Amino acid sequence: MNLILMGLPGAGKGTQAERIEDAYPIAHISTGDMFREAMANGTEMGKQAKGFIDQGQLVPDTVVEGMVKERLAQKDTDQGFMLDGFPRTLAQAEALETITKDLNKPLNAVINIDVKPAVLVERLSGRYICKNCGATYHKLYNPTKVPGTCDRCGGHEFFQRDDDKPATVKNRLKVNIEENTPLIDFYQKRGLLFTVNGDQDIDLVFADVQAVLKKLN
């Protein structure tokens, strides 16, 4: 069972990735972990990537794709894998198609956890911090017990980090939507795309993911 897991920031992709990893004997491959592992192991592609990173440059697609091929060739992917964070572009998706064909490990499904952007803005921009003691809250998931009063120190002044402000969140989502849309079209045309409603309880999202995975067995 070879998968790609997709979802915009705040859609709950990380949580679902953990649950899939716990429930199925497949390798979870996130791009961040893959980079760190390749560089730590001193693989050929890891050395190349480190050279670019050390110079403060972006790692070229050819090197990223080489690292993906190295990783997918490892034995722990023989029972299956789940890619998280790759591909990000159409060119990478096309390269992955070639890689999986060369390794005889074709993709079985692309699971897209779908949540409306307006809901994601609310989720991602809901965090606020006590100016006095630094306690962190969320207006939806972890509000103060008494409105406007910090549970920890009793302070009344709060602030938002720039990354959490609605305008910043909207821009971040816009960039991700622009990246994801061509990929969704690409995998839809290949009959690999399964869309799961991420705007529901975490357990219900995972139940829908499992329903997709059962179809593959």
Range of the domain at 99: 2-116+165-216
- The reply, when asked if residue 153 is annotated as ligand binding, is yes
Specify if 50 maps to a domain: yes
- The reply, when asked if residue 19 is annotated as ligand binding, is no
Q: Which residues contact 32 (CB under 8 A, 6 or more apart)?
A: 85
pLDDT per residue as tens digits for the range 93-112: 999 999 999 999 999 999 99
Choosing from 19, 69, 88, 131, the catalytic residue is: 88
- The reply, when asked if residue 12 is annotated as ligand binding, is yes
Choosing from 50, 131, 165, 172, the catalytic residue is: 172
Please indicate whether residue 172 is annotated as part of the active site.
yes
CATH number for the domain that contains residue 108 = 3.40.50.300
- The reply, when asked if residue 27 is annotated as ligand binding, is no
pLDDT per residue as tens digits for the range 3-17: 999 999 999 998 899
Size of the chain, expressed as the number of residues it contains: 217
Specify if 198 maps to a domain: yes
Please indicate whether residue 13 is annotated as part of the active site.
yes
What does DSSP assign to residue 58? P
Please indicate whether residue 161 is annotated as part of the active site.
yes
Residue 177, pLDDT score: 95
Specify if 155 maps to a domain: no
Residue 28, pLDDT score: 94
Give dist(CA 181, CA 187) in Å, integer: 10
Specify if 200 maps to a domain: yes
The mean pLDDT of 118-144, rounded to a whole number, is 94
Residue 126, pLDDT score: 93
The mean pLDDT of 119-139, rounded to a whole number, is 94
**Is the model's pLDDT at 217 over the cut of 80?**
no
pLDDT per residue as tens digits for the range 165-191: 999 999 999 999 999 999 999 999 999
Residue 117, pLDDT score: 95
Choosing from 139, 161, 190, 215, the catalytic residue is: 161
- The reply, when asked if residue 200 is annotated as ligand binding, is yes
Specify if 140 maps to a domain: no
